[in-house]
């Protein structure tokens, strides 16, 4: 269950304060010359995002490539990579060892597994998304050669400065557009392009909502307003509007695929909060560690990366 994809498959591993975070990509087409500068740039987008607004953990995020490449060209065999955890400071978390932080995964992991890695959020840390950025960057590179481009941006965000001052955090909405995607991608009935996207986005931390095209607004429309009329544009059949977000019957129609993802506020806030510990006793915590005010900047890169993986996977399946 730590694997995503059907043909282009990413398996990830790693805890926040363990030895390393990494992944194995299976099913990547052979003979693709990887652009390591681009991959590093994508990782920097994630880091820059962090430092610009919030994060204080300093990691070089240097990717070690373990397999699947010969002179930087993909062999068709599994591409394994890792990033060592350098700046992990578990003592920050010692006090939280037996306490369930509100709206974190501490309690649920412990219920599921009987134990948890309490250091830095363990497997539930946002740091575990790093391999997604790497795999997404490779997928993007492949798609670019097919003239498929993916671009996400901030659609809505709380007041970050105010939140920081108040020791609080904010939620956000990311909108993403997949351009140049051919008609016919996606598999009925249970492998719809929309369903695969929804699954991928909800696999990102803190995601609580997903909508495609006009999404929830469509539920308020009439059919006559919501329908996308087909037209012949210079000999190519397309739709005059794009309420459907490029997907009909779960399959791409050649128009841009457009969707939005809602991220809840990061639950680690500096304000004191009441909670309970493992013994069931009420206690109070104020998170001291190094934390972000908003998942959003990182969210933009993650949404793009997931979209790229889903698109490539559907492309290889078609």
Site residues (CB under 8 A) for a second copy, limited to 52-81: 64-70, 73, 75-80
For a second copy, the binding residues in 287-316 under the rule CB under 8 A are none
* Total of chain residues touching a second copy, rule CB under 8 A: 142
Q: Is 46 in the site for a second copy (CB under 8 A)?
A: no
Q: Would you say 153 or 249 has its CB closer to a second copy?
A: 249
Helices 296-317 and 193-201 pack at an angle, to 10 degrees, of: 150
Asked if 179 interacts with a second copy (CB under 8 A), we say no
DSSP string of 185-209? -SBTTTB-HHHHHHHHHTTSTTEEE
Task: Out of 120, 136, 213, 297, name the contact with a second copy by CB under 8 A.
Answer: 213
94 Cβ neighbours under 8 A, 6+ residues apart: none
Spatial contact of 196 and 178, defined as CB atoms under 8 Å apart: no
Enumerate the β-bridge partners of residue 140: none
Instruction: Report if residue 31 touches a second copy, rule: CB under 8 A.
Output: yes
In this structure, are residues 184 and 108 in contact, taking their beta carbons and an 8 Å threshold? no
Alpha-carbon gap, residue 2 to 16, rounded angstroms: 16
- Residues 122, 127, 142, 307: which binds a second copy (CB under 8 A)? 122
List the one residue from 13, 35, 179, 290 that touches a second copy (CB under 8 A).
13
Query: From the centroid of its chain, how far is CA 108?
Result: 21
Nearer to a second copy, 137 or 251 (CB): 251
Q: Is there a cis peptide before residue 172, judged by omega within 30 degrees of 0? A: no
CB 299 within 8 A of CB 126: no
Nearer to a second copy, 251 or 301 (CB): 251
Nearer to a second copy, 37 or 70 (CB): 70
CA dihedral 96, 98, 101, 102 (to 10 degrees): -160
Which of 53, 134, 207, 307 binds a second copy (CB under 8 A)? It is 207
Residues numbered 78 to 117 that lie near a second copy (CB under 8 A) are 78-80, 82, 100, 102-105, 107-109, 111-117
Residues 229-268 close enough to bind a second copy by CB under 8 A:
229-232, 235, 237, 239, 243-245, 247-254, 262-268
Q: Tell me the closest approach of the beta carbon of residue 216 to a second copy, in angstroms.
A: 4
């Amino acid at each position: 269950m730590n694997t995503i994809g059907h043909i282009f498959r990413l398996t990830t591993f790693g805890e926040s304060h363990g030895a390393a975070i990494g992944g194995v990509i299976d099913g990547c087409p052979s003979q693709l010359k990887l652009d390591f500068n681009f991959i590093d740039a994508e990782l920097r987008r994630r880091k820059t995002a962090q430092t610009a607004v919030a994060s204080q953990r300093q990691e070089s995020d240097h990717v070690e490539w373990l397999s699947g490449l010969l002179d930087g060209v993909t062999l068709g065999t599994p591409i394994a990579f890792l990033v060592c955890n350098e700046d992990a400071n578990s003592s920050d978390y010692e006090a939280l060892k037996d306490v369930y932080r509100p709206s974190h995964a501490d309690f649920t992991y412990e219920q599921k597994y009987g134990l948890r890695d309490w250091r830095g959020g363990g497997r539930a840390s946002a740091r575990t998304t790093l391999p997604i950025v790497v795999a997404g960057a490779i997928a993007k590179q492949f798609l670019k050669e097919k003239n498929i481009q993916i671009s996400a941006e901030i659609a809505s965000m709380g007041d970050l400065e105010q939140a920081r001052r108040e020791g609080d955090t904010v939620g956000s909405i990311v909108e993403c557009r997949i351009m140049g995607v051919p008609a016919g991608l996606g598999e009925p009935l249970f492998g719809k392009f929309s369903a695969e996207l929804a699954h991928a986005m909800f696999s990102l931390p803190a995601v609580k909502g997903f909508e495609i095209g006009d999404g929830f607004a469509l539920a308020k429309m009439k059919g006559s307003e919501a329908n996308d009329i087909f037209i012949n544009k210079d000999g190519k059949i397309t739709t005059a509007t794009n309420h459907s977000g490029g997907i009909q019957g779960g399959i791409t129609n050649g128009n841009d695929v457009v969707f939005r993802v809602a991220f809840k506020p990061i639950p680690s806030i500096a304000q004191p909060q009441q909670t309970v510990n493992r013994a069931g006793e009420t206690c109070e915590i104020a998170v001291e560690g190094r934390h972000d005010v908003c998942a959003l900047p990182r969210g933009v890169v993650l949404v793009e990366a997931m979209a790229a993986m889903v698109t490539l996977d559907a492309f290889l399946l078609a």
